[in-house]
């Protein structure tokens, strides 16, 4: 062969590589409303930036008809490219090749690109669309999963890992995502489950459809497995790009800065918080009025809405925002809100993202359901996560900071650097009525007019603890500020704390309550 023929062979081979599992399978994929693996990668990365590797690999198994199902590249496409000019590593499962089933070779490819990403400090994005373990490959498939799960764990806290669910992800295909930092699901087409409806019917007799079992909204609002939901594939990939824009490439970088943008006008922050503690308000209104433009990206928006977490920019700098949500269940902390907050705080601490926490919380949710569900164990995660976090931490107490909620929500003594209070802040062991009922139980029982006595005592209690000045007079908060001053105060504080040095005692790792 001359060089022209040799080069022509490469061109010919490249053409066939683009076929995935063949025309018929690609048509079936499109008919399901889904793009192919490569179409998805091209929609995710900057035009012309994708470089594929391992496109020639084939599996080495022959049993159960596998000999006739050898496709170059097998059931995953891997490589690297850029998003907004920043490097990423990417793997996209190819459903057109034996349902994207997880083979020995798929494991080899994904592990290789993940190793390269980790070695180079580059985020890893996995576009998932798979029927799970390739049954025909038996232990080779399972061993491959183990290799991947081990790597996901090693990479955790070193490079951001994002799982994008774009098809039926069954069995082992959900545990790699479960180990990564963020899961984004496409509505309607993505499902995540350990055991499918057929197995559930056989084992338990329960009838359940795919959507109810493991659809995007199920995981976004009920299980908390998914952090984000998008309406279709284009929106899912756009959201993935947006999420990446807040994240540093690895744990020794700072998140990327952007030009500062003024917050939208229209919210009078100084009158946002109702003086009557029984009346709620939307913490999103405060967040919107303080941070840059429309920079707030809520994480877990549909899960535990009594807490708010997400990324935002402040004068162009990325911060992690945590807040109670007085507009839902009075912002109480329950099991799910605890998990939501703790996980987010730990992510921000891994990746050098300063934390800004807005506190308006009456305490932990009472009741046997919460106690028996382990609110002690789950609530402890919040205090553990904040105590362990060494990134700059700033808290703003907007209204109620009662009891345990005061302590766990980024209080001064779990090493929050600066704690500000709005004039509406109330820092107390509990609300006035509850406190009076306990402190004056005997007197109230004997009183001629218990209602009047309760009102009077509550008034006295409120006078003492119903404002931030007792806490400020003893240094428990660092300053009392007008809500409208918050943005400027936060910007100055973040500049001041930018080079914060903090370290934890030497240890292998702590034993976080799980």
Catalytic residues, which ones? 171-172, 404-405
How many positions of this chain bind ligand HXC (CB under 6 A)?
A: 16
Q: Which two tokens stand for residue 328?
A: 């839902």
Nearer residue to ligand HXC within complex by CB, 19 or 467: 19
Quote the least distance from Cβ 36 to ligand HXC, whole Å. Answer: 14
Residue 168 sits in the site that holds ligand HXC (CB under 6 A): yes
Torsion of CA 409, 414, 418, 421, to 10 degrees: 40
Buried b (16+ CB within 10 A) or exposed e, 330-341: bbbbbbbbbbbb
The one among 93, 101, 324, 370 contacting ligand HXC by CB under 6 A: 101
Quote the least distance from Cβ 182 to ligand HXC, whole Å. Answer: 20
Buried b (16+ CB within 10 A) or exposed e, 288-302: bbbbbeebbbbbbbb
The one among 145, 228, 344, 364 contacting ligand HXC by CB under 6 A: 145
Quote the least distance from Cβ 143 to ligand HXC, whole Å. Answer: 11
The one among 98, 114, 333, 359 contacting ligand HXC by CB under 6 A: 98
Q: How far apart are CA 369 and CA 373, in angstroms?
A: 6
Quote the least distance from Cβ 154 to ligand HXC, whole Å. Answer: 18
Count helices and strands in the chain by DSSP H and E runs: 20, 17
In this structure, the number of other CB atoms found within 10 A of the CB of residue 359 comes to 28
Q: Which helix (H) or strand (E) holds 193?
A: strand 191-193
Question: What burial class does residue 268 get, using C-beta atoms within 10 Å of its C-beta: 0-12 exposed, 13-18 middle, 19+ buried?
Answer: exposed
Contact call for residues 132 and 172 (beta carbons, < 8 A): yes
Residue 417 DSSP symbol: S
Q: What share of the chain is helix, strand, coil (3-state, %, to 5)?
A: 45, 20, 35
Nearer residue to ligand HXC within complex by CB, 172 or 431: 172
Pairing of strands 355-361, 393-402: parallel
Identify which range of 2-10, 81-89, 167-175, 359-367 contacts ligand HXC by CB under 6 A: 167-175
Identify which range of 55-63, 112-120, 170-178, 250-258 contacts ligand HXC by CB under 6 A: 170-178
Nearer residue to ligand HXC within complex by CB, 62 or 439: 62
The one among 81, 171, 320, 466 contacting ligand HXC by CB under 6 A: 171
Residue 433, SS3? helix
Nearer residue to ligand HXC within complex by CB, 98 or 408: 98
Q: Which 50-69 residues touch ligand HXC, going by CB under 6 A? A: none
The one among 123, 196, 327, 354 contacting ligand HXC by CB under 6 A: 196
Quote the least distance from Cβ 139 to ligand HXC, whole Å. Answer: 11
Phi first, then psi: what are they for 133, rounded to 5°? -55, 135
Strand partners, 355: 320, 393
Identify which range of 33-41, 166-174, 248-256, 397-405 contacts ligand HXC by CB under 6 A: 166-174
Q: Please, which residues have CB within 8 angstroms of residue 352's CB and are 6 or more apart in sequence?
A: 248, 251, 252, 253, 254, 255, 391
Contact call for residues 441 and 447 (beta carbons, < 8 A): no
Quote the least distance from Cβ 99 to ligand HXC, whole Å. Answer: 2
Quote the least distance from Cβ 223 to ligand HXC, whole Å. Answer: 17
Q: Which 114-143 residues touch ligand HXC, going by CB under 6 A? A: 131-135, 142
Q: How far apart are CA 146 and CA 149, in angstroms?
A: 5
The one among 73, 123, 172, 320 contacting ligand HXC by CB under 6 A: 172
Nearer residue to ligand HXC within complex by CB, 178 or 513: 178
The one among 170, 216, 307, 333 contacting ligand HXC by CB under 6 A: 170
Residues lying near ligand HXC in the complex (CB under 6 A): 98-99, 101, 131-135, 142, 145, 168, 170-172, 175, 196
């Amino acid at each position: 062969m001359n060089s022209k023929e040799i080069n022509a062979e490469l061109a010919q081979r490249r053409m066939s590589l683009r076929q995935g599992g063949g025309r018929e399978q690609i048509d079936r994929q499109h008919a399901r409303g889904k793009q192919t693996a490569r179409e998805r990668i091209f929609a995710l990365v900057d035009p012309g930036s994708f470089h594929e590797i391992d496109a020639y690999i084939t599996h080495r198994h022959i049993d159960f008809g596998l000999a006739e199902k050898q496709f170059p590249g097998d059931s995953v496409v891997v490589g690297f490219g850029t998003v907004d000019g920043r490097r990423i590593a990417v793997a996209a499962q190819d459903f057109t090749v034996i349902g994207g089933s997880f083979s020995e070779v798929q494991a080899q490819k994904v592990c290789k690109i993940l190793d390269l990403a980790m070695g180079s400090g580059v985020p890893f994005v996995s576009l998932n669309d798979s029927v799970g373990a390739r049954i025909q490959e038996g232990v080779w498939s399972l061993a491959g999963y183990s290799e991947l799960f081990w790597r996901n764990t090693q990479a955790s806290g070193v490079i951001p890992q994002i799982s994008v669910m774009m098809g039926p992800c069954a069995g082992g295909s959900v545990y790699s995502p479960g180990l990564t930092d963020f899961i984004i699901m496409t509505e309607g087409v993505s499902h995540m489950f350990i055991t499918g409806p057929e197995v559930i019917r056989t084992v338990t007799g329960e009838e359940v459809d795919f959507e109810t079992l493991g659809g995007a909204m199920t995981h976004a609002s009920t299980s908390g497995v998914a952090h984000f939901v998008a309406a279709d594939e284009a929106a899912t990939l756009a959201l993935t790009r947006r999420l990446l824009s807040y994240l540093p490439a690895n744990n020794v970088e700072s998140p990327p800065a952007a030009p500062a943008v003024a917050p939208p006008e229209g919210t009078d922050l100084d009158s946002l918080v109702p003086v009557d503690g029984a009346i709620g308000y939307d913490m999103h209104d405060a967040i919107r009025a303080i941070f840059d433009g429309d920079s707030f990206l809520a994480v877990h928006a549909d899960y535990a809405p009594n807490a708010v977490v997400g990324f935002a920019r402040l004068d162009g700098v990325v911060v992690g925002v945590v807040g109670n949500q007085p507009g839902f269940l009075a912002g109480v902390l329950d099991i799910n809100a605890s998990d939501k907050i703790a996980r987010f705080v730990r992510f921000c601490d891994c990746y050098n993202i300063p934390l800004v926490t807005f506190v308006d919380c009456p305490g932990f949710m009472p009741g046997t359901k919460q106690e028996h569900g382990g609110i002690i164990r789950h609530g402890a995660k919040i205090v553990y996560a904040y105590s362990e976090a060494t990134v700059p931490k700033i808290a703003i107490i907007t209204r109620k900071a009662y009891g345990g909620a005061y302590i766990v929500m980024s209080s001064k003594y779990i090493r929050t650097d600066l704690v500000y209070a709005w004039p509406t802040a109330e820092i107390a062991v509990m609300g006035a009525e509850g406190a009076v009922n306990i402190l004056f139980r005997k007197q109230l029982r004997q009183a001629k007019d218990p209602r009047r006595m309760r009102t009077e005592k509550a008034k006295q209690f409120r006078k003492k603890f119903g404002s931030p000045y007792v806490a400020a007079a003893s240094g428990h908060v660092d300053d009392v500020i007008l809500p409208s001053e918050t943005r400027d105060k936060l910007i100055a504080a973040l500049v001041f704390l930018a080079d914060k040095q903090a370290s934890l005692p030497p240890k292998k790792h702590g034993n976080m309550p799980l």
